[in-house]
Amino acid sequence: MSAHAVSATAPHHTALPLFTRRAALLGAGSLLALPALGSNAKPQPAPPTVWPHALAVPGGVARLSLGPAATRPQAHVRQGDADVPVLVVGDAIEWTAVVGIPLAAALGDATISVVQADGSGARQVPYTVTPKQYKEQHLKVSPRTVDLSPEDQARYERERDHQAQVMATFSEQPAGGALQSLRMQVPVPGRRSSSFGLRRVFNGQPRNPHSGMDIAAATGTPIVAPLPGKVIDVGDYFFNGGTVWLDHGQGLLTMYCHLSSMDVRVGDVLKAGEAFCKVGATGRVTGPHLHWGVMLNRAMVDPALFVPA
């Protein structure tokens, strides 16, 4: 299990799924003309799943309808003293803001700011952050990774500042084209050994909540890219061990920690399903596994919202 330095919804304004909007706009008339279903009627196929799943809690994702527009609107969310750009998906019929909610987010009313591509039509789009209770986990690790020496503390602070720059990455199409879907492939097979959001206690000392999903696997197991992406960081860090960050566009990043092998360089472009690193037990760990993190608008969010159950 890992130990990392990176650390029921009732929104006011929730996006209708894109397929629902299209049905309403394009097929309302024909739906009114359909006869009532009889006992011999064939069951209708289930509507497609929208990714990621919406769950407006700390560490979750809000999906907010921005309505129709000829070009993609620009959206920002306030985090501290910064206006951070937000991922916007869709087309001229319906645009949706996909907002990552930090684990430390305050409960209650929140907003994003939205303008058209030309800077016109400024408005606020509201949503509500509702509570979620995460479990607590107690771990025993090497004392030197809890009570840091001056040298290790200085190293950690250097690495923290570097990774803050990595996490601020925002690009449009890093893998050569806009993503057709945000459904992710699980990067390595295995048991999910530690869930997102766990309140971590190391050697009796409380620390930051778990900011990703741990997947138990043997050292050397290949890890694949869950979506097309570009490598933006490769390093060996005090807490996270061997680490790779991928950029999937518009502030959607993924992080892979405790690696035994990193078979890519910064700037490499990966296809979905392409192997690029291997499971290990480097950094602050209790055994070999992959720590997988997903970041939206600089907020670590639950990877489970992006993959099938």
Q: How confident is the model at residue 61 (pLDDT cuts 50, 70, 90)?
A: very high
- For 160-215, the pLDDT digits (tens) are 899 999 999 999 888 767 788 899 999 999 988 767 767 656 555 555 676 789 99
Same fold, 60-129 and 136-305: no
H or E stretch at 87: strand 87-91
Question: Over pLDDT 90: what percentage of the chain?
Answer: 58
Among candidate residues 228, 224, 230, 226, the one with its CA nearest the CA of residue 265:
230
pLDDT at 288: 93
pLDDT at 49: 76
Structural fold of domain 60-129: Immunoglobulin-like (2.60.40)
Residue-range domain boundaries for the chain: 60-129, 136-305
- For 254-265, the pLDDT digits (tens) are 999 999 999 999
pLDDT at 105: 92
What does the alpha-carbon distance between residue 130 and residue 128 come to, in Å, rounded to a whole number? 6
- For 202-250, the pLDDT digits (tens) are 555 555 676 789 999 999 999 999 999 999 999 999 889 999 999 999 9
- For 6-41, the pLDDT digits (tens) are 433 333 444 444 444 443 333 333 323 334 444 555
What are the angstrom distances between the C-alpha of 155 and each of 108, 200, 208, 209? 37, 22, 19, 21
What does the alpha-carbon distance between residue 11 and residue 130 come to, in Å, rounded to a whole number? 8
Q: Which residues pair with 91 in a beta bridge?
A: 94
- SS3 of residue 19 by DSSP: helix
Structural fold of domain 136-305: Glucose Permease (Domain IIA) (2.70.70)
- Mean pLDDT score of the chain, rounded to an integer? 82
Structure tokens of 53?
A: 């799943």
